[in-house]
A and B are shown apart, each in its own frame.
Chain A
């Protein structure tokens, strides 16, 4: 672990079970809460840690996790103590490890308490996921702040020199069991009242607004049958305009040529995984669903979060440079063009038809990528190791 001059080494901890406070400020959408929750849950379930998750927008998490009471100040879900992060901060004991997600500003009083703590406290900033090469050079670096505090930047990523990806230990086994069972797939689809034609291509669509969506949907009306599953979200407006309906309602189905559209409810995290596992192609957005699509082992399109100065284009290209290495040249080129067209608002017809012509090569490539990524340690494993090293726990305590 990098450090500035003359680090004052904290004394060994008495136990390997650390107390964690994870702070999450919901900026927009569902990724903030979803990622913070996954990390918290995995730290408890797989790493045996004690975790409090401080969240300033519980209704967002309630949409993702069944059983969350969006009004409770304090509740325990799956072993995670879920806390309302209110503007009026009340003093709380400082944890061993403090995680701010995506650089959120944790309460000043809490920072003061960290600085005053007689016990060592490790402060981490869990950053955004990016495939850009600079991430490797920044992962694990300290940030020296006023008041004798030091914070470390923890970067998720796709290589061994990064913090890895969020992945539950049994996720791929669960997925394999699901994808190996026709009955499970049918049951999952029927739970949404979806009964696709046997030869239909199943596509899930959970994206931001798409200027050229209408042209793509026009294209899907022709040719082989397509079953488009659309969980409630920002893309519904484009779909409504194309259908000529005022408002979609959950459970509605529309048939246009060889295209069938299903308006699905917003999916909780575990349900969304199963939906991804069902489909032949997934269209996802943001960060959390982007990662889940990769673990589905199915080909996908990433609708990336748009940033000023087209910064997102660089991030998109950086990921494509890694991801497409798992595909044949022609298949990779087809995927790349469809991704770029989708993310730049270009017409989608040509690139979609080319992609469909490469359909047989998509699934093996996606599987290869998923398999390669699963070889890396996941975030919860790496962040616990990082924390233990940061707090200088004696090896005997790690047993």
Chain B
């Protein structure tokens, strides 16, 4: 058990036997040194989301989910197949992968964590930093190297993210998978 004020985004809490991913957790002082925690939760079994409020000192049950290293193998029909080092296959739907789906691309070599609840795979976590290639972006404006001017870039699967103006089509970039924000340019993965 944790108190609600200690809950952070990416924690998983157990409510009525279901694991809920904390997507957002806002601590707010209410009155007389009391506080509330407003959270956005996603049910890891059904994919549904909800908002909820707790008193700061309410007890909340935490869940430690089992995780196994996997890599993305292929997509078959609507299922995304990941394999572990013993070649066990884990199938997930697009709904299961909702938050990481924009960064699932063919040929990706990231070591991903397949997340299990009661023996069933329910989602996949990407590494915090992932490397992707820009499939297309407008040419850079001449002279701006500050990184403050941003533009849209498309990845191979159509996902759009904001990158500095000096980035070019074909560049490899690091992305923070938690925030989906550009971090820096980098070399192509070996």
The yes or no answer to A186 lying at the interface (CB within 8 A) is no
The yes or no answer to B15 lying at the interface (CB within 8 A) is yes
With most chain A CB atoms within 10 A of its CB, the pick from B15, B50, B51, B55 is B55
Interface residues of B in 157-188 (CB under 8 A from A): none
Interface residues of A in 129-170 (CB under 8 A from B): 129-130, 132, 134, 137-138, 141-146, 148, 153
Using Cβ atoms and an 8 Å threshold, which residues of chain A touch B55?
103, 125, 143
Is B15 a contact of A137 with CB atoms below 8 Å?
A: no
The yes or no answer to A4 lying at the interface (CB within 8 A) is yes
> A150 → chain B, closest Cβ, in Å?
9
Is A138 a contact of B18 with CB atoms below 8 Å?
A: no
The yes or no answer to B43 lying at the interface (CB within 8 A) is yes
Query: In the bound complex, what is the Cα–Cα distance between A287 and B34 (angstroms)?
Result: 14
**With A5-B46, A143-B52 in contact, do A128 and B33 touch (Cβ < 8 Å)?**
no
Using Cβ atoms and an 8 Å threshold, which residues of chain A touch B29?
307, 309, 311, 314
Using Cβ atoms and an 8 Å threshold, which residues of chain B touch A28?
32
Chain A proximity mask over B84-106: 1 for CB below 8 Å, otherwise 0: 00000000000000000000000
Residue of B nearest to A314 (CB): B29
Chain B proximity mask over A301-332: 1 for CB below 8 Å, otherwise 0: 00001011101001100000000000000000
Report which of A134, A144, A305 forms a contact with B38, defined as CB distance below 8 A. A134
Query: In the bound complex, what is the Cα–Cα distance between A311 and B29 (angstroms)?
Result: 7
Interface residues of B in 23-64 (CB under 8 A from A): 26, 28-34, 36, 38, 43, 46, 48, 50-55, 58-59, 61
**With A4-B52, A134-B38, A145-B58 in contact, do A128 and B18 touch (Cβ < 8 Å)?**
no
Chain A proximity mask over B47-83: 1 for CB below 8 Å, otherwise 0: 0101111110011010000000000000000000000
Is A4 a contact of B50 with CB atoms below 8 Å?
A: yes
Is B50 a contact of A2 with CB atoms below 8 Å?
A: yes
Using Cβ atoms and an 8 Å threshold, which residues of chain A touch B59?
146
Residue of B nearest to A125 (CB): B55
The yes or no answer to B16 lying at the interface (CB within 8 A) is yes
Is B53 a contact of A143 with CB atoms below 8 Å?
A: yes
Using Cβ atoms and an 8 Å threshold, which residues of chain B touch A132?
28
Query: In the bound complex, what is the Cα–Cα distance between A148 and B38 (angstroms)?
Result: 19
Using Cβ atoms and an 8 Å threshold, which residues of chain A touch B46?
5
Interface size on B, residues (CB 8 A): 25
Is B52 a contact of A127 with CB atoms below 8 Å?
A: no
Using Cβ atoms and an 8 Å threshold, which residues of chain B touch A142?
50, 52-53
Is B32 a contact of A144 with CB atoms below 8 Å?
A: no
Is B33 a contact of A153 with CB atoms below 8 Å?
A: no
**With A4-B15, A141-B38, A144-B15 in contact, do A308 and B33 touch (Cβ < 8 Å)?**
yes
Is A134 a contact of B28 with CB atoms below 8 Å?
A: yes
Tell me what chain A mostly uses at the interface: helix, strand, loop, or mixed.
Answer: loop
> B106 → chain A, closest Cβ, in Å?
34
Using Cβ atoms and an 8 Å threshold, which residues of chain A touch B54?
143
Counting chain A residues whose Cβ lies within 8 A of the other chain, the interface size class is: 20 to 34
> A391 → chain B, closest Cβ, in Å?
20
Report which of B16, B32, B50 forms a contact with A102, defined as CB distance below 8 A. B32
Is A153 a contact of B53 with CB atoms below 8 Å?
A: yes
The yes or no answer to A27 lying at the interface (CB within 8 A) is yes
Is B34 a contact of A128 with CB atoms below 8 Å?
A: yes
Query: In the bound complex, what is the Cα–Cα distance between A32 and B15 (angstroms)?
Result: 31
Query: In the bound complex, what is the Cα–Cα distance between A138 and B32 (angstroms)?
Result: 18
Using Cβ atoms and an 8 Å threshold, which residues of chain B touch A5?
18, 43, 46, 48, 50
Residue of A nearest to B4 (CB): A143
Is A148 a contact of B16 with CB atoms below 8 Å?
A: yes
> B176 → chain A, closest Cβ, in Å?
26
**With A125-B55, A144-B52, A146-B59 in contact, do A305 and B32 touch (Cβ < 8 Å)?**
yes
Query: In the bound complex, what is the Cα–Cα distance between A129 and B34 (angstroms)?
Result: 12
Query: In the bound complex, what is the Cα–Cα distance between A196 and B71 (angstroms)?
Result: 84
Query: In the bound complex, what is the Cα–Cα distance between A125 and B30 (angstroms)?
Result: 12
With most chain A CB atoms within 10 A of its CB, the pick from B15, B28, B30, B61 is B30
Report which of A2, A125, A141, A305 forms a contact with B31, defined as CB distance below 8 A. A305
Query: In the bound complex, what is the Cα–Cα distance between A144 and B33 (angstroms)?
Result: 23
Query: In the bound complex, what is the Cα–Cα distance between A132 and B61 (angstroms)?
Result: 30
8 A–B contact pairs at CB < 8 A?
A: A2-B50, A102-B31, A127-B30, A128-B34, A141-B53, A142-B53, A144-B15, A144-B52
Q: A4-B16, A138-B38, A148-B16 are in contact. List 19 more A-B contacts (CB 8 A).
A: A4-B52, A5-B48, A27-B32, A103-B30, A127-B36, A128-B32, A129-B31, A130-B31, A134-B28, A138-B53, A141-B38, A141-B51, A145-B58, A146-B59, A153-B53, A305-B31, A305-B32, A311-B29, A315-B31
In order of increasing CB-CB distance, the 7 nearest A-B pairs are: A128-B31, A311-B29, A141-B53, A153-B53, A128-B30, A103-B55, A144-B15
